[in-house]
């Protein structure tokens, strides 16, 4: 007999503003992530910067994913299966810190976000569960 689950799988989707990185999302973003990991070599970063579109076209990503990379729309890329550990390679290629990259997905400006972190970060109160509103 399989063990009883400690919580329903659907609950992973019950966290406000959060995409839990699952095996299925990883699959959806596989070629996007291949592109991100290619940026771990200096020569590839140069090639990408020289002609972003041409470089992206060498990967089997969806057109939507390519456009979101060109737009540096990390929120969209996460909606399309992306995970920040991969996406941060794109931000690093642009010379952005992880703090700046993360702030662009937060709905806040980078100054406001940085200030929030200095003041102790974002409280979990009220954003634990969509269903329970706690």
Partner 1 sequence: MARISAGIATSHVPAIGAAFDLGKTKDPYWAPVFEGYEFVKEWIKDNTPDVVILVYNDHASSLMMDIVPTFAMGFADEFQSADEGWGRRPVPVVKNHIELAAHIAEQLVIDEFDITLINEMDVDHGLTVPLSLVFGQVEEWPCKVIPFVVNVSQFPTPSGERCWKIGEAIRNAVKTFPEDLNVQVWGTGGMSHQLHGTRAGLINEEFDRRFIDLLAHEPEELKYITRLEYLRETGTEGIELIMWLIMRAALGYGVEEKKRFYRVPASNTAVGHVVYECKS
Q: Does residue 85 interact with partner 1 by CB under 8 A?
A: yes
- For residue 103, count CB atoms less than 10 angstroms from its CB and return exposed for 0-12, middle for 13-18, buried for 19 or more: buried
Q: In terms of Cα–Cα distance, which of 119, 107, 109, 61 is closest to 87?
A: 61
Q: Does residue 54 interact with partner 1 by CB under 8 A?
A: no
Tokens at residue 53, please?
């579109």
Instruction: Count how many Cα atoms sit within 13 Å of the Cα of residue 72 in the half-sphere of its side chain.
Output: 15
**Nearer to partner 1 (CB atom), residue 15 or residue 67:** 15
Tokens at residue 114, please?
């940085």
Q: Does residue 58 interact with partner 1 by CB under 8 A?
A: no
Pseudo-torsion of CA 38, 49, 73, 9, nearest 10°?
0
Q: Does residue 116 interact with partner 1 by CB under 8 A?
A: yes
Which residue of 55, 61, 80, 83 would you call a contact of partner 1, by CB under 8 A? 83
Residues 3-42 contacting partner 1, CB under 8 A: 6-7, 11-12, 15-23, 26, 30, 33-34, 36-37, 39-42
Which residue of 49, 53, 122, 131 would you call a contact of partner 1, by CB under 8 A? 122
Tokens at residue 113, please?
């976000």
Residue numbers of the site for partner 1 (CB under 8 A)?
Answer: 6-7, 11-12, 15-23, 26, 30, 33-34, 36-37, 39-42, 45, 74-75, 78, 83-86, 88-93, 95, 97-99, 102-103, 105-107, 113, 116-118, 120-124, 127-129
């Amino acid at each position: 007999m399989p063990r009883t689950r400690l919580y329903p799988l659907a609950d992973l989707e019950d966290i406000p503003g959060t995409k839990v990185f699952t095996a299925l999302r990883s699959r959806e973003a596989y070629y996007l992530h291949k592109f991100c990991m290619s940026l771990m070599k200096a020569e590839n970063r140069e090639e990408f910067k020289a002609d972003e579109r041409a470089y992206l076209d060498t990967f089997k990503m969806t057109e939507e994913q390519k456009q979101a990379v060109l737009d540096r729309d990390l929120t969209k890329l996460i909606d399309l299966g992306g995970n920040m550990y991969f996406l941060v390679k794109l931000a690093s290629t642009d010379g952005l810190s992880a703090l700046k990259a993360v702030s662009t997905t937060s709905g806040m400006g980078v100054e406001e976000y940085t200030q929030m972190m200095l003041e102790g970060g974002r409280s979990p109160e009220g954003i634990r569960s969509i269903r329970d509103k706690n």
